[in-house]
């Protein structure tokens, strides 16, 4: 009897701990998290930068206005965060079905030294066809990051090489270029996809 009570108490404690961790994630990193003060991205219409997409077209924030937009910063030599996030994004787009074609989805490099137009074209080819790769001069990448309130830094590695630290969240904007929300790294699909649908819905409501 005593042993059975211990098992029941242990199960109840584990359930409570799981619930506590979930609530903590929701408030700190999940959909219920407050936006950091002073870190809200500018509207796309207020940003100024010029880059080149993976098909050698000149692009900038103006190309993103008119459709809901997802933007993610990273680099092609990224060992885990970038391929994981782009795979997640590809899964979200697959779930959206035909609605995916109604969105701009852009991957902006923070490593233009290595991420040429050709490198970006090859890299984004491994993911959903809607995803575009943008690269360009370092000063324009920096201006883009400043507008999105994203951060990145070059970190030396052994042997004289380097890697990049960077913001891992996905920025989600409505068709008018206003921030809807952000999707956190490794955010569960059941939270991420409704956020995207919210941006698509706001697009429809704004057009009526």
Read out DSSP for 105-174? EEEEES-TTT--HHHHHHHHTTS-TTEEEEE--HHHHHHHHHHHT--EEEEE-GGG-EEEEE--PEEEE-
Q: Is 186 annotated as a binding residue?
A: no
In this structure, the strands spanning 69-74 and 104-109 are parallel
- Please tell me whether 54 is known to bind a ligand: no
Strand partners of residue 73? 108
* Backbone φ and ψ of 134, nearest 5°: -120, 135
Q: How far apart are CA 109 and CA 60, in angstroms?
A: 14
> Any binding-site annotation on 82?
yes
- Annotated binding residues for Cu cation, as ranges? 78, 82, 166
- Annotated binding residues, as ranges? 78, 82, 166
């Amino acid at each position: 009897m005593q042993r059975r009570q211990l098992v029941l108490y242990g199960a109840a404690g584990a359930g409570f701990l799981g619930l506590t961790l979930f609530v903590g994630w929701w408030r700190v990193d999940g959909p219920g998290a407050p936006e950091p003060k002073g870190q809200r991205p500018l509207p796309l219409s207020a940003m100024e930068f010029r880059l080149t997409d993976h098909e050698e077209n000149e692009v900038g924030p103006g190309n993103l206005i008119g459709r809901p937009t997802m933007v993610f910063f990273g680099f092609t030599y990224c060992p885990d965060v970038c391929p994981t996030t782009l795979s997640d994004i590809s899964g979200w787009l697959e779930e959206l079905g035909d609605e995916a074609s109604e969105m701009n989805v852009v991957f902006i490099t923070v490593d233009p030294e290595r991420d040429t137009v050709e490198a970006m074209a090859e890299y984004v080819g491994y993911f959903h066809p809607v995803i575009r790769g943008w690269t360009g001069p370092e000063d324009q990448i920096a201006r883009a990051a400043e507008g999105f309130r994203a951060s990145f830094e070059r970190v030396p590695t052994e042997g004289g090489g380097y890697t990049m630290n960077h913001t891992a969240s996905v920025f989600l904007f409505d068709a008018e270029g206003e921030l809807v929300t952000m999707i956190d790294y490794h955010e569960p699909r059941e939270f991420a996809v409704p956020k995207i649908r919210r941006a698509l819905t706001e697009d429809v409501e704004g057009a009526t």
